[in-house]
Amino acid sequence: MKPKARCSAIIILFFLAACKDAPPKKTIVDTPNETIKDTVVTDSIVAKEEPEEELFVLNEDNAIDFFFNYSKTLTENKVKLTTSLGSFTIALFDNVPYHKANFVFLTKKGYFNNTYFHRVVKNFIIQGGNADNKETSRKRREIGRYLLPPDTRKGHRHHRGTVSMPSSEINNPHMLASPYEFFIVVTKPGSYHLDGEYTPFGKVIEGMDVVDKINAQPVDDGDWPSHNIYIHKAEIVN
């Protein structure tokens, strides 16, 4: 019995020594945080940016359809202009839809703000909507380049106080209207030689004395006022 016990003891001691000298097993540790981080970084690299919405710009091809549809939504018909010499109010005619819609649209876009009455012809007209500043040029670029067809057969004449739209002077045999500008008749009782040539689209219903005051300002040889006459603000009124 003793030899067997001794042999068993020797075997046990050898086994323990072998276990002690064996290298430890590697433990696999999950690293969920690192895995999520890697996924996020990878997604951010391959993700595509959403395209920016393209800005709508008016042009010769889309302006008529745009203002035709825009006119159907309008309930406004009065615009107040605040100038450096006072304010006056314009009522817009309903039966010239393109020109009315254009004037309301530009008013709501803030186009007329900080433009000038840039042309004053004594006892005839005052003309506004232009300016020799970068802001006005920028606004025109952003809104678009287009002309409007004349609409001269709706029964409106160029009485005193009539607001009408001048025609473009550039390659314009059909007398298409320049949409960014307008003129107001100050002649008594009117300037009827303009009938059939230009499109009346409104009339001054309040503040005609301010229009006369603007017309009385000194001008240079090109009918440009000696001092800028600002349109500080154009706004829709009830």
User: DSSP of 144-205, one letter per residue?
Assistant: B---B-----SS---BTTEEEEPBP-SS-TT--B-TT-EEEE-SSSB-GGGTTTSEEEEEEE
pLDDT in tens, 78-105: 999 999 999 999 999 999 999 999 999 9
pTM surpassing 0.85?
Answer: no
- The CA R_g of the chain, rounded to the nearest whole Å, is 39
Confidence grade of residue 14 (pLDDT, cut at 50, 70, 90): very low
Residue 147 has pLDDT above 70, yes or no: yes
pLDDT at res. 173: 72
Q: At what angle do helices 97-108 and 63-71 cross, to 10 degrees?
A: 90
Contact residues for 194 (Cβ-Cβ < 8 A; gap 6+): 158, 164, 185
In angstroms, rounded to a whole number, what is the distance separating the alpha carbons of residues 106 and 149? 17
pLDDT in tens, 112-143: 999 999 999 999 999 999 999 999 999 999 99
Domain boundaries, the chain: 63-236
Superfamily name and number for 63-236 = Cyclophilin-like (2.40.100.10)
